[in-house]
Structure 1
Amino acid sequence: MKYLSYIVILLISNFVIAQNQALFEKANALYNDGEYAEAIDAYNLILENGKHSAEVYFNLANAHYKLNHIAPSIYNYEKALRLAPNDKDIRNNAAFARNMTIDDIEVLPQAGFSKIMKDITNTFSFDNWSKISIALVILSIVLFLLYYFSYSETRKRLSFVSSFLVLFIGLIALSFAFKKYNLVKKDKPAIVFSQESRVMSEPNKRSEESFRLHEGTKVQVLDSVDQWKKIQLANGNEGWVESEDIKPL
């Protein structure tokens, strides 16, 4: 009975994969024919089926871009970049889409030691930092065993020093893994979907208006109170917007 359920699950999985592939090809054909709205519907069906890939989000973003849908295009380019951060085509098209936004927000510059540490931390993902640290710890154990069972004085000394040196580097890699984890955990980006959003000083409509944002602008969500979100811009400015004005990535 257990094997029968596995076979059923496998058949269903294969059917869904084939269905998504057919939808993807249909959506691409619609896009190439200039039927962008229909292509968007087809790409969204793929996402609703649970298939999330950089290619689907990228093509969906392109279709929105063709229709001058600022917020949806930027949103889906950002989704694609989260899955394929080094893809040049996605980066280039995302830059074109951002040029359609009204808000001109300068990025708060980082310098010194904090910038160096952040750059090193972002070199690898949390998973890769973890794998590197585990590999180095295992290598350190192997070197220590080599030291323990070696009869040559020179080899013992070299193995002993190498073991602790590799272990030290492994612990550094582990610290970067935790640092990367904390960065990812704190990273809560969102895109403004409202054509114009009033950013308030407090989470209520009676408070003073701090500034306004327009569709397509990327923000960081810092906090949430009822139907309000506290956001921060790349230049460090903060305020509260209604939850319905933004869409978390």
Structure 2
Amino acid sequence: MPNSLPPVRPIALSEIRAARERIASTVIHTPLVRLELGPDFPDIRLKLENLQPINAYKLRGAANAVALLPEAERDRGVWTISAGNAGQGVAFAARRAGVPCTVVAIETAPASKLDRMRALGAKLILVPYHVAWRTLNTRAFPGADGTFIHPFDDDNFIAGHATMGLEILEDAPDTKAVIASIGGGGLITGLGSALKALRPEIKIWGVEPETAAPMALSLAAGAPREFREWKASFVDGAGGQSVFPRMWER
């Protein structure tokens, strides 16, 4: 891991609100749709982030991170690491900004996601899952040039995701709890940053596949852990091999 990384810090509500204005022309305010399970069930709403232009919430963080790229770094381009959604988000935002984009992509990602990244103008470098996961820590890869945009351990990426929390409370101000998936941890960190700043009493639950559950393992141990029994599942965009120490701090 590079020695020059900034220290982990909280994401301020002012940053989240600024991110919302910054990405307003790129992302949409997605609806909260009630899940009708019958009168004996609680009021459950689904946040339809699949309606974003790339069909995933990752566009929020990517758009914010690319928008904040210093002018001097734009010609060199950006690169990221992805199983599909973050790569699409960065590629989409980079194309709109006229910035070259490279994605170190997991070779087993769905072909539709790989094709979509290429269609958005990204150069792809296909690697096995364990190589991609290791590169998330080293933050360097041969052939990937330009500014690295980390798909979860990046303040600007997290602030972009946090805008979802603002929308949730606007559309459902009486929200009691929010359930979010955990892969690298950027989504739940962003949601937590926004929701807890505005409504500290809200409960936030994280979910991950049983076959890739390093956060549950880490919570039980009280420290970041590697999930050695990791297996791929149909949930290709969630469930990591380990909890990164910096994300644990968040």
TM-score (norm 2): 0.24
Larger helix share, 1 or 2: 1
TM-score (norm 1): 0.24
